[in-house]
Structure 1
């Protein structure tokens, strides 16, 4: 289901599921493989359904936080992501990806200029251009100066096939310099 006009990058609260017909499942599977997720688990993820429950809050002082509860069918445990939109890098331990470092922040489309054309591309809605995009970068925390994988995301509301869609554009680089560009489109399931 398409997003109602009340859902913007200023308030992404709601439930979503990835639209497998519109998203690039092959590239997502490749990315998970480069991140060390085994074949059996990747196939279960491909067959199952991932539901995101997003809670987007703004404090009276203007501090934003996005909490995402990931629910997976097929008995695969989900996870919770706490993402303050302050640009500060933080560590996190995840049962699927191990130790990671990440930041999340709001950027204007103008400030996104240094980003690749792919990341800032898309047909962002007027309200997304006005409120800004959400940028997040996640990298494997392998320690000892070793290179790990890196995901660079831009999130926003995009006009796609005449419908408003929550979209994640991902530029991925693996530990061995593998490169992928992935667009994930989500269906809105309601509040």
Structure 2
């Protein structure tokens, strides 16, 4: 489902499900495999679809936070992550990916180094800036930019990703999400 008219990059709160038909699903499975996610969990994620809930807010000091809660059917382990958009590294023991180091910020696309991460965004996303997430795991690195893209005439929450795997291979992917609810 397309994003509601009220959705902007300044408030990306909502519940979303990965649209496999519009996303680079094959790349997504390969990335999960290279991140050490086992075949059974990858199959469950692929079959059920990746659902995420995002709560976007500013704290009393005006610092942006994103509380992201992925939902994997049949798995009750807590996986929520809070992204603080200060570009400060934080260490996380993630139940799916293991030990990771992550940092997140809001940035204008033209300030990014990699062309794949800065293309396809709507004018209002370019103006407000994309959300950039940089994660280093066990022998892999994932860089994502989050924002709004227009696909088939509809505004959608999207993520452009560059993933470098354990053997130095690079994968570029786009993940497209359907908006489910606020």
Q: Same fold by TM-score, threshold 0.5 exceeded?
A: yes
CA distance in 2, matches of 1:78, 1:171: 26
CA distance in 1, matches of 2:45, 2:77: 11
Scaled by the length of structure 1, the TM-score of the pair is 0.91
CA distance in 2, matches of 1:44, 1:90: 29
Scaled by the length of structure 2, the TM-score of the pair is 0.95
CA distance in 2, matches of 1:20, 1:163: 16
- Higher mean C-alpha displacement, 167-176 vs 37-46: 37-46
Q: Is the 8 A contact 2:109 2:117 kept in 1?
A: no
Deviation at 1:119, TM superposition (A): 1.0
Deviation at 1:129, TM superposition (A): 1.4
In structure 1, list runs of 5 or more residues that go unmatched: 143-147
In structure 2, the residue matched to 1:24 is 24
Please tell me the root mean square deviation across aligned C-alpha atoms, in Å. Answer: 1.3
| Secondary structure class of the residue paired with 2:127 | helix
| Secondary structure class of the residue paired with 2:135 | strand
Figure out how many residues of one structure are paired with residues of the other and give that number: 182
CA distance in 2, matches of 1:128, 1:83: 19
Q: Is the 8 A contact 1:71 1:78 kept in 2?
A: no
Decide which of 159, 174, 179 is 1:183's aligned counterpart.
174
In structure 2, the residue matched to 1:120 is 118
Query: Is 2:90 the counterpart of 1:86?
Result: no
CA distance in 2, matches of 1:17, 1:177: 30
Decide which of 131, 135, 151 is 1:134's aligned counterpart.
131
Deviation at 1:109, TM superposition (A): 2.3
Deviation at 1:20, TM superposition (A): 1.0
In structure 1, the residue matched to 2:104 is 104
